[in-house]
Amino acid sequence: MNARTLEKALADRVGEPGLTIGAIELQHLQDYWSLLVRWNHKVNLTSLPLQNYPARSIDRLIVEPLEAARFVQRSSFVWFDLGSGGGSPAIPLKIVRPLGRLTMVESRSKKAAFLREVVRVLRMTEATVIQERAETVSKERIQCAADLVTVRAVRLERSFQEAIGELLKVGGRAFLFASEGGPVPQLKRLSFVSSHELPRTRSVLHVYSRLD
């Protein structure tokens, strides 16, 4: 794979209003995709097809988090991504919001190893990986509370919802990536704020806040 090929795969997306990325960011996205393809042969990182850059996969894994970036501040903030899996939305979002102090939480050892390799290859600063269940991570042990928690493709069990509320500081936000047209989940300890369509990917971003 090369940057030119990835650029072509993104040609009908990148450059539209609100979704412009630079050459360095494109290179980092290329490196991430290359690692994803290579590791997915041995580790089940995603069930989406990756060869030849299918539009559906590009949209889901890269374009969706890039669309969501417009709702994320550009200054420094503390950020947890829960159930990080194959690294999306966390990795593409981190690429375009590099000042976010990202902690990816992933319980499965092979997926955690992949995430650490991405951090190493992309030379990401302020990015760490914790191999642990999200339900057992606490801000007291991490010694910080989150400004932002991001979640996608996980079952929102009661204990998981509790974990989101536990990690967030008062006034912090939680982003839940979901399929378009579904009901808005009600999350324990969090107040629903708004929903934003991500039209290029037919998905929606639900935003919540911790008020107390």
Instruction: List all residues 6 or more positions away from 72 whose beta carbon is below 8 Å from its beta carbon.
Output: 93, 97, 100, 148
Instruction: Provide the pLDDT confidence category of residue 1 given band limits of 50, 70 and 90.
Output: very low
Map tokens 């190493």 to a residue.
120
Pick from 69, 140, 142, 143: nearest CA to 104:
142
The CATH code of the domain that includes 16 is: 3.40.50.150
* Model confidence at 145: pLDDT above 60: yes
What is the predicted pLDDT for the residue at 199? 78
Could you tell me the residue range of the domain that residue 84 belongs to? Answer: 3-209
> Across the chain, what does the average pLDDT equal?
89
Question: Which two tokens mark 54?
Answer: 């299918």
Q: What is the pLDDT of residues 19-34, one digit of tens each?
A: 678 889 989 999 999 9
Instruction: List all residues 6 or more positions away from 42 whose beta carbon is below 8 Å from its beta carbon.
Output: none
Please report, for residues 13, 134, 179, 209, the alpha-carbon distance to residue 131 in angstroms, rounded to integers and kept in the order given.
Answer: 34, 9, 27, 26
Share of the chain above pLDDT 90, in %: 62
Distance from the Cα of residue 134 to its chain's centroid:
15
Instruction: Provide the pLDDT confidence category of residue 80 given band limits of 50, 70 and 90.
Output: very high
Does the bond joining 183 to the residue before it have cis omega, within 30 degrees of 0?
A: no
Total domains, the chain: 1
Taking a C-beta distance cutoff of 8 angstroms, is the pair 29, 7 a contact? Answer: no
